[in-house]
């Protein structure tokens, strides 16, 4: 992650790299969505769990970076830093989503035309990170997404909630009480998966305000965020070599596991999801954060992956929408669609890099310098 404010603490470059790896795995998971008829036959089946890994990383990095600063940093300072870091790409993702929706023909997935005023309202809501309810006019795609122009913005919505909870409450908790939050939210998340409250047989929830989706998203964020904070408070390195590559392989294997149990036994897949989130992901993070001796080759790779991770996560899905429309309208089978899928990924990476280089970094640096000069 590129640093907008200069910090004296060492930077976890390998964790930034792993964030980039997880972002690429999310894109590949989304490619498979174009061919899935149910959660069971989705390719790269557990790719949605990368978001839980993002949340754990966020909690760890936020706790590490800010826990000891509150004597010289106000709530206003903290929220301004987080907005400068996150919101420019929220806006850009909404804008690109609106443009690609117009390219697609301004129609919902069922073919219904969408009025320009509804698109403008969806753009306005997306730019402000305000979720929309299923079925309202500005829910322009018609599949219940909080942010229909750029679906992955839902995780930023919960990231913002996590930031607010951290600043107002979580940071003030003793380690014992923070551990209690981890235990209660983790138990709730495991129960959510085992009892199949999503109805999908998995924990890929939070992207909609329908039914139990919002509750599931809150549990995913609250457990992972508070777990990351708890780990940051009690972190003691283990001196592991090659941890980034080990972590990358483990993530890839865990996210590629096919659906377990089918719809006849959805609790099995819910249990697997819970095990990954509650046990394995914290272990991977701890392992990768522990490595202190890093070779230059790995560091360079991690710097690039870290820099591109957030922009590519925020811009790739509008291009996936176009890919889905092409696949479904032309009934293109998976193997024949792969060249176009790789093309959509390449376009996403290029647009993400250009946004990072010529929009996100310059704007973030200007905003940081402006507020520092103004003393605000």
Q: What is the rounded distance in angstroms from the CA atom of residue 81 to the CA atom of residue 54?
A: 19
Does residue 74 lie within any of the structural domains?
Answer: yes
Q: How many CA atoms lie within 13 A of 60 on its CB side?
A: 26
pLDDT at 3: 44
Q: What is the rounded distance in angstroms from the CA atom of residue 146 to the CA atom of residue 330?
A: 28
Q: What is the rounded distance in angstroms from the CA atom of residue 157 to the CA atom of residue 20?
A: 20
Query: Model confidence over 289-338: pLDDT tens digits?
Result: 998 667 889 999 999 999 999 999 999 999 999 999 999 999 999 999 99
Is the model's pLDDT at 239 over the cut of 80? no
Q: How many domains does the chain have?
A: 1
In this prediction, residue 374 has a pLDDT band, given cuts at 50, 70 and 90, of low
User: How many CB atoms are closer than 10 A to CB 95?
Assistant: 17
* Residue of 231, 200, 239 lying closest to 216 (CA atoms): 200
* Residue of 141, 150, 132 lying closest to 90 (CA atoms): 150
Q: What is the rounded distance in angstroms from the CA atom of residue 111 to the CA atom of residue 132?
A: 20
CB 15 within 8 A of CB 57: yes
Strand partners, 107: 113
Overall average pLDDT of the 20-39 stretch? 96
Does residue 5 lie within any of the structural domains?
Answer: no
User: How many CB atoms are closer than 10 A to CB 362?
Assistant: 12
Query: Model confidence over 95-145: pLDDT tens digits?
Result: 999 999 999 999 999 999 999 999 999 999 999 999 999 999 999 999 999
Does residue 1 lie within any of the structural domains?
Answer: no
Does residue 4 lie within any of the structural domains?
Answer: no
CB 237 within 8 A of CB 290: yes
Strand partners, 113: 107
pLDDT at 50: 98
Does residue 8 lie within any of the structural domains?
Answer: no
Does residue 3 lie within any of the structural domains?
Answer: no
User: How many CB atoms are closer than 10 A to CB 7?
Assistant: 10
Q: Write out the two tokens for 62.
A: 């936020």
In this prediction, residue 6 has a pLDDT band, given cuts at 50, 70 and 90, of very low
Domain that holds residue 57: 13-374
pTM given for the model: 0.94
User: Which uninterrupted H or E stretch holds 80?
Assistant: helix 75-104
Does residue 7 lie within any of the structural domains?
Answer: no
Q: What are the C-alpha distances in Å from 298 to residues 9, 92, 126?
A: 20, 30, 36
Does residue 308 lie within any of the structural domains?
Answer: yes
> Where does residue 198 rank: exposed (0-12), middle (13-18), buried (19+ CB within 10 A)?
buried
Q: What are the C-alpha distances in Å from 375 to residues 363, 368, 370, 371, 372?
A: 18, 11, 9, 6, 5
């Amino acid at each position: 992650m590129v640093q907008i404010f200069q910090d004296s603490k060492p930077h976890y470059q390998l964790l930034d790299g792993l964030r980039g790896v997880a972002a690429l795995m999310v894109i590949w998971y989304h490619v498979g969505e174009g061919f899935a008829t149910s959660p069971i036959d989705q390719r790269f089946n557990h790719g949605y769990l990368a978001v839980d890994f993002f949340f754990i990383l966020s909690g760890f990095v936020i706790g590490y970076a800010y826990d000891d600063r509150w004597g010289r940093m106000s709530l206003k300072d903290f929220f301004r830093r987080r907005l400068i870091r996150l919101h420019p790409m929220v806006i850009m993702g909404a804008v690109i989503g609106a443009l690609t929706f117009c390219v697609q023909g301004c129609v919902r997935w069922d073919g219904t035309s969408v009025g320009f005023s509804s698109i403008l309202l969806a753009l306005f809501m997306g730019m402000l990170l305000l979720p929309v309810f299923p079925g309202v006019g500005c829910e322009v795609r018609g599949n219940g997404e909080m942010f229909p122009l750029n679906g992955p913005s839902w995780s930023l919505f919960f990231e913002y909630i996590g930031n607010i909870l951290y600043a107002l409450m979580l940071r003030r908790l003793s380690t014992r009480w923070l551990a209690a939050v981890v235990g209660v939210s983790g138990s709730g998340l495991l129960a959510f998966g085992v009892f199949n409250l999503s109805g999908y047989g998995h924990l890929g929830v939070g992207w909609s305000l329908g039914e139990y989706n919002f509750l599931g998203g809150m549990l995913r964020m609250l457990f992972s965020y508070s777990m990351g904070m708890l780990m940051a408070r009690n972190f003691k390195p283990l001196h592991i070599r090659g941890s980034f590559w080990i972590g990358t392989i483990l993530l890839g294997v865990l996210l590629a596991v096919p659906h377990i149990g089918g719809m006849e036994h959805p609790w099995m897949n819910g249990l697997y999801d819970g095990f990954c989130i509650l046990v394995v992901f914290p272990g991977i993070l701890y392992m990768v954060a522990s490595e202190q001796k890093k070779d230059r080759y790995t560091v360079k790779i991690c710097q690039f992956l870290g820099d591109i991770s957030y922009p590519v996560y925020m811009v790739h899905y509008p291009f996936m929408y176009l890919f889905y429309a092409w696949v479904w309208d032309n009934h293109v089978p998976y193997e024949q669609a792969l060249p176009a899928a790789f093309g959509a990924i390449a376009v996403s990476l290029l647009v993400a890099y250009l946004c990072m280089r010529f929009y996100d970094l310059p704007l973030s640096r200007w905003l940081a310098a402006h507020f520092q000069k103004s003393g605000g």
